[in-house]
Protein backbone atom coordinates (compact mmCIF):
# COMPACT_ATOMS: atom_id res chain seq x y z
CA UNK A 1 0.00 0.00 0.00
CA UNK A 2 1.21 3.44 -0.97
CA UNK A 3 1.59 6.17 1.68
CA UNK A 4 -0.73 8.35 -0.52
CA UNK A 5 -3.43 5.68 -0.44
CA UNK A 6 -4.02 5.89 3.34
CA UNK A 7 -6.39 8.33 4.75
CA UNK A 8 -5.49 11.70 6.23
CA UNK A 9 -5.94 10.42 9.74
CA UNK A 10 -3.53 7.60 9.15
CA UNK A 11 -0.93 9.93 7.64
CA UNK A 12 -1.06 11.94 10.88
CA UNK A 13 -0.47 8.81 12.97
CA UNK A 14 2.62 7.56 11.04
CA UNK A 15 5.04 10.21 12.31
CA UNK A 16 3.89 9.53 15.81
CA UNK A 17 4.52 5.83 15.35
CA UNK A 18 8.07 6.54 14.03
CA UNK A 19 8.83 8.66 17.05
CA UNK A 20 7.44 6.02 19.41
CA UNK A 21 9.46 3.26 17.77
CA UNK A 22 12.66 5.32 18.02
CA UNK A 23 11.97 5.95 21.71
CA UNK A 24 11.56 2.22 22.26
CA UNK A 25 15.02 1.40 20.67
CA UNK A 26 18.15 0.41 22.69
CA UNK A 27 19.59 3.06 24.98
CA UNK A 28 23.33 3.54 25.78
CA UNK A 29 24.38 2.06 29.06
CA UNK A 30 24.74 4.67 31.74
CA UNK A 31 28.28 5.49 33.05
CA UNK A 32 28.42 4.27 36.61
CA UNK A 33 30.79 5.70 39.26
CA UNK A 34 32.68 2.37 39.32
CA UNK A 35 33.30 2.46 35.57
CA UNK A 36 34.51 6.06 35.80
CA UNK A 37 36.86 5.10 38.63
CA UNK A 38 38.22 2.11 36.67
CA UNK A 39 38.84 4.30 33.63
CA UNK A 40 40.64 6.90 35.73
CA UNK A 41 42.76 4.19 37.39
CA UNK A 42 43.75 2.76 34.00
CA UNK A 43 44.74 6.20 32.77
CA UNK A 44 46.76 6.75 35.95
CA UNK A 45 48.56 3.42 35.43
CA UNK A 46 49.40 4.37 31.85
CA UNK A 47 50.73 7.73 33.00
CA UNK A 48 52.73 6.05 35.79
CA UNK A 49 54.27 3.53 33.37
CA UNK A 50 55.16 6.30 30.93
CA UNK A 51 56.75 8.36 33.73
CA UNK A 52 58.73 5.31 34.95
CA UNK A 53 59.96 4.67 31.41
CA UNK A 54 61.09 8.30 31.13
CA UNK A 55 62.88 8.08 34.50
CA UNK A 56 64.61 4.83 33.48
CA UNK A 57 65.70 6.39 30.21
CA UNK A 58 67.08 9.47 31.99
CA UNK A 59 68.84 7.30 34.59
CA UNK A 60 70.42 5.16 31.87
CA UNK A 61 71.60 8.26 30.04
CA UNK A 62 73.03 9.65 33.29
CA UNK A 63 74.91 6.39 33.87
CA UNK A 64 76.30 6.49 30.33
CA UNK A 65 77.34 10.12 30.80
CA UNK A 66 78.97 9.29 34.15
CA UNK A 67 80.93 6.38 32.68
CA UNK A 68 82.04 8.48 29.75
CA UNK A 69 83.16 11.28 32.09
CA UNK A 70 85.06 8.80 34.27
CA UNK A 71 86.76 7.34 31.21
CA UNK A 72 87.77 10.82 30.04
CA UNK A 73 89.09 11.69 33.50
CA UNK A 74 91.11 8.45 33.66
CA UNK A 75 92.53 9.09 30.21
CA UNK A 76 93.54 12.65 31.09
CA UNK A 77 95.07 11.54 34.40
CA UNK A 78 97.02 8.77 32.67
CA UNK A 79 98.26 11.18 30.01
CA UNK A 80 99.31 13.65 32.72
CA UNK A 81 101.21 10.93 34.63
CA UNK A 82 102.95 9.77 31.47
CA UNK A 83 103.90 13.34 30.56
CA UNK A 84 105.21 13.99 34.09
CA UNK A 85 107.16 10.74 34.00
CA UNK A 86 108.70 11.62 30.64
CA UNK A 87 109.60 15.09 31.90
CA UNK A 88 111.16 13.63 35.03
CA UNK A 89 113.23 11.12 33.08
CA UNK A 90 114.38 13.77 30.61
CA UNK A 91 115.37 16.02 33.50
CA UNK A 92 117.30 13.18 35.13
CA UNK A 93 119.15 12.42 31.90
CA UNK A 94 120.03 16.10 31.62
CA UNK A 95 121.22 16.21 35.25
CA UNK A 96 123.37 13.16 34.67
CA UNK A 97 124.86 14.73 31.56
CA UNK A 98 125.65 17.94 33.41
CA UNK A 99 127.08 16.06 36.37
CA UNK A 100 129.22 13.90 34.11
CA UNK A 101 130.50 17.02 32.38
CA UNK A 102 131.22 18.66 35.74
CA UNK A 103 133.08 15.58 36.96
CA UNK A 104 134.94 15.53 33.65
CA UNK A 105 136.31 18.95 34.48
CA UNK A 106 138.35 17.20 37.18
CA UNK A 107 140.30 15.38 34.50
CA UNK A 108 138.21 12.19 34.38
CA UNK A 109 137.29 10.68 31.05
CA UNK A 110 133.67 10.25 30.01
CA UNK A 111 133.40 6.65 31.21
CA UNK A 112 134.83 7.46 34.64
CA UNK A 113 132.62 10.53 34.92
CA UNK A 114 129.55 8.43 34.20
CA UNK A 115 130.68 5.77 36.69
CA UNK A 116 131.14 8.28 39.47
CA UNK A 117 127.62 9.64 38.86
CA UNK A 118 125.97 6.18 38.70
CA UNK A 119 123.20 5.74 41.28
CA UNK A 120 122.67 2.81 43.60
CA UNK A 121 119.23 1.46 44.54
CA UNK A 122 117.63 -0.06 47.62
CA UNK A 123 114.91 -2.54 48.46
CA UNK A 124 111.62 -1.32 49.91
CA UNK A 125 112.04 0.16 53.40
CA UNK A 126 115.71 -0.92 53.51
CA UNK A 127 118.99 0.96 53.74
CA UNK A 128 121.42 -1.96 53.53
CA UNK A 129 123.56 -2.42 50.44
CA UNK A 130 123.06 -5.39 48.15
CA UNK A 131 125.70 -6.95 45.90
CA UNK A 132 124.80 -4.69 42.96
CA UNK A 133 125.18 -1.57 45.08
CA UNK A 134 128.54 -2.61 46.54
CA UNK A 135 129.78 -3.43 43.04
CA UNK A 136 128.94 0.11 41.91
CA UNK A 137 130.58 1.56 45.04
CA UNK A 138 133.73 -0.43 44.37
CA UNK A 139 134.04 1.32 41.02
CA UNK A 140 133.64 4.68 42.75
CA UNK A 141 136.32 3.67 45.27
CA UNK A 142 138.83 3.26 42.48
CA UNK A 143 138.05 6.69 41.10
CA UNK A 144 138.12 8.38 44.51
CA UNK A 145 141.44 6.76 45.37
CA UNK A 146 142.92 7.83 42.04
CA UNK A 147 141.64 11.40 42.39
CA UNK A 148 142.35 12.50 45.95
CA UNK A 149 141.02 16.02 45.36
CA UNK A 150 137.53 14.82 44.53
CA UNK A 151 134.87 15.48 47.13
CA UNK A 152 131.38 14.08 46.73
CA UNK A 153 127.94 14.43 48.21
CA UNK A 154 125.65 11.40 48.53
CA UNK A 155 121.91 12.16 48.42
CA UNK A 156 119.41 9.58 49.75
CA UNK A 157 115.96 9.27 48.18
CA UNK A 158 112.77 7.24 48.85
CA UNK A 159 109.58 6.32 47.09
CA UNK A 160 106.33 8.08 47.95
CA UNK A 161 105.11 5.54 50.54
CA UNK A 162 105.57 6.47 54.18
CA UNK A 163 105.38 9.81 56.00
CA UNK A 164 107.63 12.73 55.09
CA UNK A 165 109.52 12.44 58.38
CA UNK A 166 110.05 8.70 58.01
CA UNK A 167 111.25 9.03 54.42
CA UNK A 168 113.69 11.81 55.30
CA UNK A 169 115.21 9.58 57.97
CA UNK A 170 115.27 6.58 55.63
CA UNK A 171 116.92 8.62 52.88
CA UNK A 172 119.60 9.72 55.31
CA UNK A 173 120.24 6.12 56.38
CA UNK A 174 120.66 5.14 52.74
CA UNK A 175 123.15 7.93 52.07
CA UNK A 176 124.98 7.11 55.31
CA UNK A 177 125.23 3.42 54.34
CA UNK A 178 126.93 4.34 51.07
CA UNK A 179 129.29 6.76 52.84
CA UNK A 180 130.14 4.20 55.50
CA UNK A 181 131.10 1.64 52.84
CA UNK A 182 133.41 4.08 51.08
CA UNK A 183 135.01 5.23 54.34
CA UNK A 184 135.52 1.66 55.53
CA UNK A 185 137.36 0.99 52.27
CA UNK A 186 139.80 3.85 52.57
CA UNK A 187 138.15 7.12 51.55
CA UNK A 188 138.58 9.94 54.09
CA UNK A 189 135.19 10.71 55.62
CA UNK A 190 135.84 14.44 55.22
CA UNK A 191 135.62 14.01 51.46
CA UNK A 192 132.03 12.78 51.62
CA UNK A 193 128.93 14.66 52.72
CA UNK A 194 125.41 13.28 52.86
CA UNK A 195 121.91 14.70 52.50
CA UNK A 196 118.40 13.27 52.39
CA UNK A 197 115.58 14.43 50.12
CA UNK A 198 113.12 11.76 51.26
CA UNK A 199 110.39 11.45 48.65
CA UNK A 200 110.68 15.06 47.45
CA UNK A 201 112.66 14.41 44.25
CA UNK A 202 111.29 11.32 42.50
CA UNK A 203 112.88 10.16 39.27
CA UNK A 204 109.59 8.63 38.17
CA UNK A 205 106.32 10.24 39.24
CA UNK A 206 104.16 7.24 38.36
CA UNK A 207 102.54 5.18 41.14
CA UNK A 208 103.80 1.72 40.20
CA UNK A 209 106.29 -0.79 41.59
CA UNK A 210 108.65 0.06 38.74
CA UNK A 211 108.50 3.78 39.55
CA UNK A 212 108.95 3.19 43.29
CA UNK A 213 111.97 0.95 42.67
CA UNK A 214 113.58 3.67 40.54
CA UNK A 215 113.01 6.27 43.26
CA UNK A 216 114.62 4.26 46.09
CA UNK A 217 118.17 5.38 45.40
CA UNK A 218 121.31 7.24 46.38
CA UNK A 219 122.85 9.79 44.01
CA UNK A 220 126.47 10.98 43.87
CA UNK A 221 127.61 14.49 42.89
CA UNK A 222 130.96 16.24 43.03
CA UNK A 223 131.16 19.18 45.47
CA UNK A 224 133.85 21.72 46.28
CA UNK A 225 133.49 21.43 50.05
CA UNK A 226 131.67 19.28 52.62
CA UNK A 227 129.80 19.83 55.85
CA UNK A 228 129.68 16.26 57.15
pLDDT of 226 = 42
- Cα gap 7→170, rounded to integer Å: 132
- Cα gap 52→198, rounded to integer Å: 57
pLDDT of 69 = 87
The predicted-structure confidence for 116-173, as pLDDT tens digits, reads as follows 999 999 999 999 999 999 999 999 999 999 998 899 999 999 999 999 999 999 999 9
Q: How far from each other are the two terminal CA atoms of the chain, in whole angstroms?
A: 143
The predicted-structure confidence for 26-84, as pLDDT tens digits, reads as follows 666 666 777 777 788 888 888 888 888 888 888 889 888 888 888 888 888 777 777 77
Provide the residue ranges of all domains of the chain, joining segments of one domain with +. 79-223
Domain covering 79-223 assigned CATH 1.10.760.10 in the classification: no
Residue 18 pLDDT grade (very low, low, confident, very high; cuts 50, 70, 90) = low
Q: Which segments of the chain are extended strands (E)? A: 120-121, 151-157, 192-198, 217-223
Amino acid sequence: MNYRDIGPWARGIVPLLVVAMAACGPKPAPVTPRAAADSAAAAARRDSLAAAARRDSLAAQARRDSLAAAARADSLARAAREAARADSLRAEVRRNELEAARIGAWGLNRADSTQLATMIHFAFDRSDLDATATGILDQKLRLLQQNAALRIQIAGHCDERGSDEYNLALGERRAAAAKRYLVEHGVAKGRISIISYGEERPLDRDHTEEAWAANRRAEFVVVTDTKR
